[in-house]
């Protein structure tokens, strides 16, 4: 368990712990109920170590979750050109830490206010609250967008503009169910398909051409 990630949940854990203690005075069932909520929260904020593939030509998943769609899309914030977007839905059972898809420097970080629609909706990418990141190295610039969902209401940013990150290194997280999008160059070979479950920092999403 990574302390920095777990600290994002300190007040939630304290709240459930206090409710468990108070509930024990009234009913064993209440004690068990709030204890289970406490343990679920601990499990939700788990943050396992991952070993990224060393090949510099591969791009890894920025988040754990299920690939919901792979479509061509205009990326208008940073790249301002046509890209291939891979949308990953994070359920409440997935690890919610976000990780750098490549070795690179953070050249863009921009929060955008919005709604909190269900992250499985097709229009959530444009309407929901989000945080857009761009990672650049001499070979490519990759954009990642963190998007809130109906339950997720907090995007956490750990990295700053100018930070140099290694592939698979954590740059932030989204609390509870949400969506993370990866914008790839059109000449990248996508190696996943819709319905695949991917692991942030280790599953290879795409390969850059030689």
Which uninterrupted H or E stretch holds 29? helix 28-44
Half-sphere exposure of 1 (CA within 13 A, CB side): 12
Given 125, 130, 159, 178, the catalytic residue: 178
User: Is 178 an active-site residue?
Assistant: yes
d(CA 70, CA 192): 9
CB-based contact 3:9 (threshold 8 Å): no
The DSSP output letter for 150 is S
The DSSP-derived string for 34-88 is HHHHHHHHHHHT----------TTEEE-SSSEEEEEEEEEEETTTT-EEEEEEEE
CB-based contact 96:175 (threshold 8 Å): yes
Mind telling me the catalytic residues? 178
């Amino acid at each position: 368990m990574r302390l920095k990630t777990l600290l994002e949940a300190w007040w939630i854990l304290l709240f459930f712990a206090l409710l468990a203690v108070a509930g024990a005075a009234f009913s064993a069932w209440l004690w068990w109920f709030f204890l289970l909520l406490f343990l679920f929260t601990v499990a939700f904020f788990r943050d396992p170590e991952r070993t990224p593939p060393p090949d510099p030509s591969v791009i890894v998943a920025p988040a754990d979750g299920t690939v919901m769609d792979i479509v061509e899309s205009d990326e208008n914030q940073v790249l301002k050109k046509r890209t291939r977007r891979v949308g990953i839905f994070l359920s409440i059972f997935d690890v919610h830490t976000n990780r750098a898809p490549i070795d690179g420097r953070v050249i863009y970080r921009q929060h955008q206010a919005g709604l909190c629609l269900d992250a499985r909706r097709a229009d959530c990418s444009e309407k929901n609250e989000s945080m857009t990141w761009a990672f650049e190295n001499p070979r490519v610039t990759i954009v990642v967008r963190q998007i809130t969902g109906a339950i997720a209401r907090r995007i956490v940013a750990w990295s700053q503009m100018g930070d140099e990150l290694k592939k698979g290194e954590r740059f932030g997280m989204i609390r509870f169910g949400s969506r993370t999008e990866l914008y790839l160059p059109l000449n990248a070979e996508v190696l996943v398909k819709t319905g695949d479950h991917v692991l942030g920092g280790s599953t290879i999403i795409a390969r850059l051409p030689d």
